[in-house]
Amino acid sequence: MEEKINKIAEIIGDYRVEDIGWLYKTKIDNEYINKWLNQFEETDREFLIDELLHLLPNSYLTKENTLRITSTEFDIISKGLGYEDINTFFDETKFLDCQQPGKSQKVFLSLIDGVLQEKYGRSIESCGTNNIKNWFYTDDVLASGGTFREEILTEIENYGTAEFIKSGINIIGVTSPKSRTV
């Protein structure tokens, strides 16, 4: 089982390493995984490790992989919405910032801002400056969609429900890292 724990640590060992000491106290390593595993019944531990090894290789995304995917996502989304010029897409797209500091959405918006600056010479603040036709919502996982739904409904209420309906604004919901236009 130690070999399997090593493999898990190898896969997810880089999880938010830049936040250790600030937000997180512990690096995810063999010792951390063993401590986590020991909270479960001994008869269940092998099953849990096997399931993690089944899921993680296909679902865990490193920061680098997420940035690579995000850097191509805007081109795909803008073309899918009929834009010929990416800058027009950005001018007409407002990046929604709905969550409190310390929540994952802030992390994703910061990553997106870095991609915008590096690839397009823009920032999130320079977007949504013209007739807004798109709201871009990002977060780590939509899961049941409860947070997404609540935050979008709040944004619509703040905008004005009737005005929103008339506006024809597209809501682009993106979770890490796959896109879905909602």
**What is the length of the chain?**
182
Q: Which residue has the higher pLDDT, 133 or 31?
A: 133
CA distances in angstroms from 108 to 24, 35, 52, 61, 172, listed in the order given: 17, 29, 24, 13, 14
Whether residue 20 is predicted with pLDDT greater than 60 in this model: the reply is no
pLDDT for residue 89: 97
pLDDT at 181: 38
Q: State the DSSP H helix or E strand holding residue 179, giving kind and residue range, or none if neither.
A: strand 179-181
pLDDT digits (tens, 9 = 90+) for 115-146: 999 999 999 999 999 899 999 988 765 455 67
Identify the pLDDT of residue 171: 93
> Which H or E run includes 108?
helix 104-115
Give yes or no for residue 23 having a pLDDT over 80.
no
Over residues 143-165, the mean pLDDT reads 85
Q: Higher model confidence: residue 3 or residue 141? A: 3
CB 77 within 8 A of CB 172: yes
Mean pLDDT calculated for residue range 38-55? 93
- Of 110, 104, 99, the closest CA to residue 24 belongs to 104
Domain ranges (residues) in the chain: 2-59, 63-181
Separation CA 89–CA 77 (nearest Å): 9
Average pLDDT, the chain: 83
User: pLDDT band at 180, cuts 50/70/90?
Assistant: very low
Q: Is the pLDDT of residue 40 over 70?
A: yes
Query: pLDDT digit string (tens) for 103-118?
Result: 778 878 888 999 999 9
> Encoding tokens for residue 53?
């090894």
pLDDT of residue 28: 79
**Residue of 9 and 174 predicted with greater confidence:** 9
Higher pLDDT, 9 or 179: 9
What is the token pair recorded at 88? 């027009």
